[in-house]
Amino acid sequence: MSAAERLGQARAWLRQDPDAETRDELAGIITRAAAGDTLAAADLEDRFSTRLAFGTAGLRGALGAGSNRMNRVLIAQAAAGFAGYLLQRSRSDDARPTVVIGYDGRRNSRRFAVDSAELFAGAGLRAILLPRLLPTPVLAFAVRHLGADAGVMVTASHNPPNDNGYKVYLGGSDAGSQIVSPADAEIAAHIQRVADAGDVGLLPRSDAYEVAGEDVVDAYVAATAAVAHAPFGVQEMRWVYTAMHGVGWETFSRVVKAAGYPAPRVVDEQRDPDPTFRTVSFPNPEEPGAMDLSFARARAVDAEFIIANDPDADRLAVAIPDEGAEGGWRRLTGNEVGLLLGWRAAKAAQSAPGASLACSLVSSPGLGAIAEAYGLDFHETLTGFKWISRAPGMVFGFEEALGYLVNPGTVRDKDGISAAVALLGLAADARVRGVTIAGLLEELGSEIGHFASGQVSVRVDDLSIIANTMTSLRAQPPASFGTRAVATAEDLARGGAGVPAGDVLRYRLADGSRVVVRPSGTEPKLKIYIDAKAGSASDAAAAVAELEAAVRELLAERG
């Protein structure tokens, strides 16, 4: 596209933009680009050479003007396109599809949610807006609780502060799970038709949407408190909680009280929603430094453990005292928490006909060992709860990126609040026996073997680096990682063995270890997952450390 054509495209976008902030932003760039400013021209190229792709994760990206950013024009196109898909999907001419809309505390979340509600209502759908900013799990719950045909959550979860997103769920036979193929492509096609039609200002809107009552939130609180009521004798349990500047605290505090647990010591600086996430460089409890304030608070109150949610409260992080760790506290890996919660679920469902445990194929194989020990089925899926939530007979599912599904009967997605309640139940029951969370990990290791995991994550500015690395690994699979020989190399691009196709490479090593390589689905990262099993926790950790070093060496060679 020529520079003149790009300017014309940007001006057409500007004319339909209802947002004064992004209009001003784009108008300034257009003026500078038209005057010959090469940086402004490059900026326009970045904003308009493509559009944010609608996929199984919905939409997610940086806020700003242009088709490759999150803004009110893009949201209008997405909402109108999704409405068209739902109307086409409706089985009866008399049906009026119902869609529930939720939003978190990020910049523009409420504005995007209200825009969506107005456009859904204008298209003839029954649109129900949740009463205020709430965690993503409440929206996932509301889709099933209200018998809705679909749900939309405006959130970018744990992404950087300037991002936002649009997450889509389907009701009916999809039971409130996130969308999967081919629904994503069908929705994307509807959205593209709306975009091709031109001015979103011509789309019908209506303020005849409903606002859900507090009874929806009350029902979520009651159902989540029922996951694990507190046992007698834990009122002195000391623990710390952080909401990571997100929307978790209000709902979680109600659940904790209803379930009978003692109130936590809260990280006050991070308790309330703040779209700037001012105390963290990256609002993700997995990231270095994100839990430093939690550690400080825990040391001050001599806490027994820490619980953290990410900003939309669909993920859970846990930390425990550890004299060998810097600062005296260690965040458990997602796999450690997942195995503990899976162990809990397996005991409850032991040998139940058809019951299963499920995890993504990059998560710890220890869950399969637990399932085998307790007579349950086991399913490995592609990454993402859109797949995990669909595992047959699942009573518990998780993925290593701090996501846990502990109550599939009510929420068919990862839920950091219900997972936190399940963890509180584990910790409280152990405390009654005089055992810590660290002690529970030792008990589990003694029962099924000690599993350790690690990850090498490479963030890039140029996505072609990731594609080139995956191409290189496919063309020339590694024969070993350090001194550990590769026994089998699997390319899952074509699927197989009950696993849908995905851009994933899996290497099983001769010593029983495993290395999995895949691009991130939500961030510009290449992720390498490492798992090892040994007779002791220290031996398993040593094996993982050796493999991490070998992986970094291999990536340097292929870079």
pLDDT tens by residue, 292-340 = 999 999 999 999 999 999 999 999 999 999 998 989 999 999 999 999 9
Boundary (domain end) residue, out of 384, 414, 448: 448
The pairing of beta strand 305-309 with beta strand 484-491: unpaired
50-69: string of b/e by CB count within 10 Å (b at 16+)?
ebbebbbbbbbbbbbbbbbb
SS3 238: coil
In a domain, residue 185? The reply is yes
Same domain, 179 and 233: no
Look over the chain and give the mean of its residue pLDDT values, rounded to a whole number.
94
Give the range with max mean pLDDT: 49-63, 172-186, 243-257.
Answer: 243-257
Amino acid of residue 284: N
Instruction: Kindly state the tokens that stand for 170.
Output: 């389907």
- The domain tally of the chain equals 4
Q: What angle do the packed helices 183-197 and 72-89 form, to 10 degrees?
A: 120
Q: Residue 495: what pLDDT? A: 65
User: How far, in Å, CA of 414 to CA of 449, rounded?
Assistant: 26
In a domain, residue 218? The reply is no
Q: How far is CA 489 from CA 57, 432, 498, 553, in A?
A: 28, 46, 17, 18
225-235: string of b/e by CB count within 10 Å (b at 16+)?
bebbebeeebe
In a domain, residue 217? The reply is no
Q: Residue 463: what pLDDT? A: 87
The pairing of beta strand 356-360 with beta strand 377-381: parallel
Determine which one of 116, 157, 363, 389 is catalytic.
Answer: 157
> Looking at per-residue confidence, does 525 or 205 come out higher?
205
How do residues 75-113 score in pLDDT, each as one tens digit?
999 999 999 999 998 865 567 999 999 999 999 999 999
**Domain around 395:** 223-448
Query: Is residue 356 flagged as an active site residue?
Result: no
Same domain, 268 and 400: yes
Biggest CA–CA distance in the chain, Å, is: 74
In a domain, residue 261? The reply is yes
Peptide bond into 182 cis (omega under 30): yes
Q: Where do we find the tokens 């995905």?
A: 502
Same domain, 196 and 320: no
**Cβ neighbours for 53, distance < 8 A, ≥ 6 positions apart:** 59, 188
Same domain, 4 and 123: no
Q: Residue 496: what pLDDT? A: 60
Percent of the chain with pLDDT over 70: 98
Percent of the chain with pLDDT over 90: 89
Same domain, 193 and 254: no
Q: How far is CA 329 from CA 92, 204, 322, 509, in A?
A: 57, 54, 5, 32
Same domain, 282 and 427: yes
Sign of CA dihedral 316, 283, 107, 398: negative
Same domain, 433 and 538: no
User: How far, in Å, CA of 136 to CA of 225, rounded?
Assistant: 17
Give the range with max mean pLDDT: 49-53, 283-287, 312-316, 476-480.
Answer: 312-316
Instruction: Kindly state the tokens that stand for 53.
Output: 């792709």
At residue 500 the predicted structure's pLDDT band, cuts being 50, 70 and 90, is low
User: How far, in Å, CA of 121 to CA of 80, rounded?
Assistant: 10
The values of phi and psi at residue 271, to 5°, are: -75, -45
How do residues 369-400 score in pLDDT, each as one tens digit?
999 999 999 999 988 999 999 999 999 999 99
In a domain, residue 144? The reply is yes
Q: How crowded is residue 219: how many other Cβ atoms within 10 Å of its Cβ?
A: 16
Q: Residue 235: what pLDDT? A: 87
Same domain, 179 and 237: no
How do residues 252-292 score in pLDDT, each as one tens digit?
999 999 999 999 999 999 999 999 999 999 999 999 999 99
Rg of the chain over Cα atoms, rounded to whole angstroms, equals 24
Boundary (domain end) residue, out of 417, 448, 479: 448
Instruction: Kindly state the tokens that stand for 421.
Output: 């309640």
In a domain, residue 82? The reply is yes
Which one, of 440, 414, 423, 435, lies nearest residue 241 by Cα?
Answer: 423
Same domain, 238 and 303: yes
At residue 493 the predicted structure's pLDDT band, cuts being 50, 70 and 90, is confident
In a domain, residue 426? The reply is yes
How do residues 417-459 score in pLDDT, each as one tens digit?
999 999 999 999 999 999 999 999 999 999 999 999 999 999 8
* Strands in 98-176 per DSSP E: 98-103, 126-129, 150-154, 163-170
Same domain, 515 and 546: yes
In a domain, residue 350? The reply is yes
Boundary (domain end) residue, out of 9, 34, 49: 49
CATH of the domain at 503: 3.30.310.50
Same domain, 364 and 456: no
Q: What angle do CA 131, 134, 135 make, to 5 degrees?
A: 150
Q: Residue 526: what pLDDT? A: 93
Q: Where do we find the tokens 């779209």?
A: 275
CATH of the domain at 429: 3.40.120.10
Same domain, 177 and 313: no
pLDDT at residue 347 above 80?
Answer: yes
